[in-house]
């Protein structure tokens, strides 16, 4: 078993914060030891000290991405926090549809800012496709971004075990997923009508510029601020505000709030805000 000394733990905390904005407290020492222990075992590096030295001397090495992948938590599910999708379907989309008709803007752009393995992106896409069944002539674009390359690769493939999609109704399940055959019979893949309206990209929410070629109508930035300190949260929310169209919506996680954070958003209801 690899031993992680307190000094080394502090060094990794500083490095992780500098590269991702993730703030780890002293209670995360075992998490760091366990997850990074798998990396150094795979690489054949004898100690955490030598692993840290390697990363410090080689900041552009692909292993830096692997280290951050190991630290990040990719917990998600289809239609997680279902009240957001109800609000999106019943309140946000009808309102935006009226505004789009007046402005003759035929494109709906949605950003899932911390999309993990893609379940949130495909849940958003399903919600929009269902809504627009009776409203033709509109284009849907859903962008999913995440820090983790490993998670994004899963999202891009769009293939999930059956246990991962149990929260989807049978009607939607049949409509938007294909069952695998032979050795893939326990897996389901999203259908082309979903995959053609989504795209994925690696984005560091803290340190990357949000240099998207367009602004968004809806941003889902859920369950990621819990890993950041106050200053980092404020910067992230300001950046989200800057690329959201006026009158449009921001969704955050059920355990998150903008209370105590300097921001320009208008409160709508818990975890939902409007520019």
**For the chain, which domains are there?**
6-71 (1.10.155.10), 82-274 (3.40.50.150)
Q: Is residue 139 very low, low, confident or very high in pLDDT (cuts 50, 70, 90)?
A: very high
Phi and psi for 178 in degrees, rounded to 5? -110, 135
For the ranges 80-94, 174-188, 202-216, the one whose mean pLDDT is highest: 80-94
Contact 97, 134 (CB under 8 A): no
Distance of alpha carbon 110 from alpha carbon 153, whole angstroms: 20
pLDDT band at 132 (very low <50, low <70, confident <90, very high): very high
From start to end of the chain, where are the E strands? 107-112, 139-146, 159-161, 177-179, 187-190, 198-202, 216-221, 244-252, 266-269, 272-274
- Residues labelled as active-site residues: 35, 146
| pLDDT, position 258 | 95
Query: Residue 144: pLDDT above 80?
Result: yes
Per the model's pLDDT, the better-predicted residue between 183 and 221 turns out to be 221
Mean pLDDT of all residues in 162-171: 86
3-state secondary structure of 272: strand
Question: 168 by DSSP, 3-state: which?
Answer: coil
Residues 164-178: what's their mean pLDDT? 90
The pTM of this model reads 0.92
Q: Report yes or no: 142 and 124 within 8 Å, Cβ to Cβ.
A: yes
Instruction: Write down the mean pLDDT value for the chain.
Output: 94
pLDDT value at residue 1: 63
Classified as helix, coil or strand, 62 is helix
Query: Going by C-beta distance under 8 Å and a sequence separation of 6 or more, which residues neighbour residue 196?
Result: none
Instruction: Please enumerate in sequence order all residues whose Cβ is within 8 A of that of 123, keeping only pairs 6 or more positions apart, or say none.
Output: 78, 79, 80, 85
The answer for residues whose C-beta is within 8 angstroms of residue 107's C-beta and 6 or more apart is 138, 139, 140, 141
Percent of the chain at pLDDT exceeding 70: 100
Beta strands in 132-214 (DSSP E): 139-146, 159-161, 177-179, 187-190, 198-202
Q: Which pLDDT belongs to residue 3?
A: 85
């Amino acid at each position: 078993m690899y031993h992680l000394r307190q000094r080394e733990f502090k060094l990794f905390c500083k490095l992780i914060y500098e590269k991702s904005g993730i703030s780890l407290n002293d209670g995360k020492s075992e998490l760091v030891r366990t997850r990074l222990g798998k990396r150094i075992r795979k690489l054949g590096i004898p100690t955490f000290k030598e692993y840290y030295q390697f990363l410090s001397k080689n900041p552009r090495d692909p292993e830096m991405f692997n280290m951050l992948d190991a630290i990040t938590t990719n917990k998600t599910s289809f239609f997680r926090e279902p009240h957001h999708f109800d609000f999106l379907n019943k309140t946000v989309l009808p309102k935006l549809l009226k505004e789009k008709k007046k402005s003759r803007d035929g494109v709906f752009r949605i950003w899932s800012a911390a999309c993990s393995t893609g379940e949130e992106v495909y849940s958003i896409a399903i919600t929009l496709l269902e809504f627009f069944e009776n409203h033709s002539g509109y284009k849907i674009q859903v962008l999913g971004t995440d820090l983790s390359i490993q998670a994004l690769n899963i999202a891009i493939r769009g293939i999930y075990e059956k246990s991962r999609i149990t929260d989807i109704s049978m009607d939607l399940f049949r409509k938007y997923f294909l069952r695998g055959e032979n050795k893939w019979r326990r897996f389901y893949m999203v259908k082309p009508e979903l995959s053609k309206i989504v795209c994925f990209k690696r984005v560091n929410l803290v340190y990357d510029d949000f240099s998207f070629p367009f602004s968004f109508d809806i941003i889902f930035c859920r369950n990621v601020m819990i890993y950041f300190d106050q200053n980092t949260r404020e910067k992230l929310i300001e950046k989200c505000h800057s690329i959201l169209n006026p009158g449009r919506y921001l969704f955050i996680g059920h355990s998150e709030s903008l209370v105590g954070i300097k921001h320009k958003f208008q409160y709508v209801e818990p975890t939902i805000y409007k520019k």
